[in-house]
Amino acid sequence: MNLRSVSAIARPVDFKYPTNRAIAIITVATAAFELLRSLIVGAGLTASFGSAFGVALAVFLSWALCREVDPDQDNSAFLASALVLAGVYAWGRPDLIVVFWVLLSVRIINRTTGLPATIPDSFGLLGLGLWLTFTGSWSYGVLTAMAFGLNSTLPEPQKLHLRFALTAVAGALLAAIRGGLAYQDPNGLLWAAVLALGLSLSFAPVFVASATISSVGDDTNVRLSSTRVRTGQGFVLLVGVVLAFQMGSAGVVALLPLWSAVLGGSLYLLFPAKRV
């Protein structure tokens, strides 16, 4: 079966590229290190394998997200993967399902493959967004609706996504009525909000530089739309800020790969002498 008949936003890791081989090696090495560390500290075999998988996936997702928000720089994503590893050991593991939802959302917006989302892509994002809405927070429904709404209005729009956006909004309203709009972690709200806003501001130079994009779509070899790329960047930052304001410290930790990607792009551009 042709992958593109099912998904236009999947980006398989093609090992003919050195950077892809490198992240594969780093991911496997991270899993091996965490497995050994967990076993040494006395965790059971099942728990150790689970921990190894989770930490390694966090590293990979941070790399993948940075490739979306900073597509013109290959190596900033490796800085992001190093930052998230440090963050995981300092503050705890992120919510990988939420991070994956962010990754799907931004790919529908920025079209780094060069192709518009397929129907399975659209239902996949809608289903995941609604699941997070009813098991987590109404804000996921609003943000999912925003992703669909943006894609329906940006260059080469998918008008069908207006219907998906309305469905996500309806889910958010139902979830808000059922569960209310209360903050989930008010005690950590202030520092989390300040940190999220500060990290977002640090990304401004990358956003400005993205006015001109040289990267091309994976499947089309056509230069990416700078409008779509910058809109995707803004969406990612908005997600981070919203969850920090709503969930406090828990929202920041949940999105460690997102913030590592943001900071990786910022540091790589601001401090060229320290590029990896």
Label residue 197 exposed, middle or buried (CB < 10 Å: 0-12, 13-18, 19+). middle
Indicate the helix (H) or strand (E) that contains 6.
none
149-194 per-position pLDDT tens digit: 999 999 999 999 999 999 999 999 999 998 866 555 556 778 899 9
**Residue 33 vs residues 5, 59, 129, 254, 259: alpha-carbon distances, Å:** 37, 13, 33, 22, 23
Residue 111 domain-assigned (yes or no) = no
Q: Which residues pair with 216 in a beta bridge?
A: 223
Tokens representing residue 31 in the block = 């899993």
Tokens representing residue 100 in the block = 């994956």
Q: Residue 275 — pLDDT band, cuts 50, 70, 90?
A: very low
Residue 29 domain-assigned (yes or no) = yes
13-42 per-position pLDDT tens digit: 888 889 999 999 999 999 999 999 999 999
- Residue 169 near residue 145, CB atoms below 8 Å: yes
96-112 per-position pLDDT tens digit: 999 999 999 999 999 99
The proportion of the chain whose per-residue pLDDT surpasses 70, expressed as a percent, equals 95
Residue 245 domain-assigned (yes or no) = no
Q: Is the pLDDT of residue 63 over 70?
A: yes
DSSP per-residue codes, 11-26: ----TTSHHHHHHHHH
Q: What is the pTM of this model?
A: 0.94
Residue 129 domain-assigned (yes or no) = no
Q: Residue 2 — pLDDT band, cuts 50, 70, 90?
A: confident
Q: Residue 4 — pLDDT band, cuts 50, 70, 90?
A: confident
pLDDT for 186:
58
111-147 per-position pLDDT tens digit: 999 999 999 999 999 999 999 999 999 999 999 999 9
Residue 261 domain-assigned (yes or no) = no
Residue 27 domain-assigned (yes or no) = yes
The CA-based dihedral angle spanning residues 220, 221, 227, 229, taken in that order and rounded to the nearest 10 degrees: 90
Q: Which residues contact 13 (CB under 8 A, 6 or more apart)?
A: 20, 23, 24
Q: Residue 273 — pLDDT band, cuts 50, 70, 90?
A: very low
Q: Is the pLDDT of residue 276 over 60?
A: no
Domain, as residue range, for 21: 3-92
Residue 17 domain-assigned (yes or no) = yes
Angstrom distance (rounded) from CA 251 to CA 116: 30
Residue 225 domain-assigned (yes or no) = no
pLDDT for 179:
80
3-state secondary structure 209-261: HCCCCCCECCCCCCECCHHHHHHHHHHHHHHHHHHHHHHCHHHHHHCHHHHHH
Look at the chain and count its residues.
276
Q: What is the tally of structural domains in the chain?
A: 1
